[in-house]
Amino acid sequence: MQRTDDGTAYELLGDPAAPPIVLVHGLGLSSRLWTPHLDELTRHFYVVNYDLYGHGQSGPPGTTATLALYAQQIANVLDACAIDRAAIVGFSIGGMINRRFALDFPNRVSALCILNSPHDRGEEGQRLVEERAAKVREQGALSTFDAALARWFTPQFLAGGSPYPSLVRDWRVQADPEGYAQATWALAHGVRELIDPSPRIEVPSLVVTCENDSGSTPAMSHKIASEIAGSETVIVEHYQHLGLVEDPQRFANIIVDYLQRVL
């Protein structure tokens, strides 16, 4: 892994002559989330894979974490890689960060892939997410972990002996406690600034979620897409939040198929 001046750990993979894409992982995870997708993605793109502040091998945020700060982190990584514009592929909070990046740095985005990302939760849904964020602040990163596993993975996957639930736990433990708590708060509150933004996002955008994702529902994905002119929506049947882990080839194919059409 290489490192930017602000402590962000990143790697460059694939052919530098190919169209560049940036991968943004989710809350409490790491850039290793994308390991099973990289073989397919690097066949077609020049991939920038990095760790959010306070996650993986990146240092903690230098100031209070907000979506705008995470958007600036992407700009810093692109500068370090001497890349002017890229497609930004974001999962969960990553799909909030890439939308914020498109609003703050519109000339540096060639396309968006917004994967399993939340939107307007409604009053009750927002209350529950804020309660989880407060619990993380008071009781630590693992206080919400068991409930998260049940939301993220299908029961069959959890019962099947995959190493991924343990890996996800390891990534959460590895995260800087304060950086993780701040990211949790940004996930809870940042949705508000992305609802019907003005000016609107105006880059080719693909919005994807899973049929049974309770925190990033199909209705949310359709709403996100309705606010971005010309965007497309894909709902992947069966899976919950981490369908891209349960069926990485399916998700890699969806990303590749879309970006090859629009880049």
Q: Judge contact between 79 and 52, C-beta under 8 A.
A: no
The torsion of the CA quartet 96, 97, 100, 101, rounded to 10 degrees, works out to -140
pLDDT at 139 over 80: no
Question: Is 30's pLDDT higher than 90?
Answer: yes
* Mean pLDDT, rounded, of the chain: 92
CA-based nearest residue to 189, from 98, 67, 70 = 67
If one compares 203 and 179, the residue with the highest pLDDT of the two is 203
Is 3 in a helix, a strand, or coil?
Answer: strand
Whole domain around residue 256: which residue ranges?
2-262
Identify the DSSP state of 171: H
Look at residue 34 in the predicted model and tell me its pLDDT: 98
pLDDT, tens digit, 9 for 90 and up, residues 48-69:
999 999 999 999 998 889 999 9
Distance CA 15, CA 13 (A): 7
Query: Domain total for the chain?
Result: 1
Question: pLDDT grade, residue 135 (50/70/90)?
Answer: low
What per-residue confidence (pLDDT) applies to 54?
93
- Can you give the pLDDT at residue 126? 65
- pTM, 2 dp: 0.94
Check which CATH number belongs to the domain holding 54 and give it. Answer: 3.40.50.1820
Three-state secondary structure string covering 109-152: EEEEEEECCCCCCHHHHHHHHHHHHHHHHHHCHHHHHHHHHHHH
What is the number of other CB atoms lying within 10 angstroms of the CB of residue 108?
A: 20
Distance of CA 156 to the CA centre of its chain: 24
Cβ(218)–Cβ(234) below 8 Å: no
- Residue, of 239 and 128, whose pLDDT is higher: 239
Mean predicted confidence (pLDDT) in 16-44: 97
pLDDT digits (tens, 9 = 90+) for 217-249: 999 999 999 999 999 999 999 999 999 999 999
Burial of 46 (0-12, 13-18, 19+ CB in 10 A): buried
The four Cα atoms 69, 183, 252, 161 give a dihedral, to 10 degrees, of 160
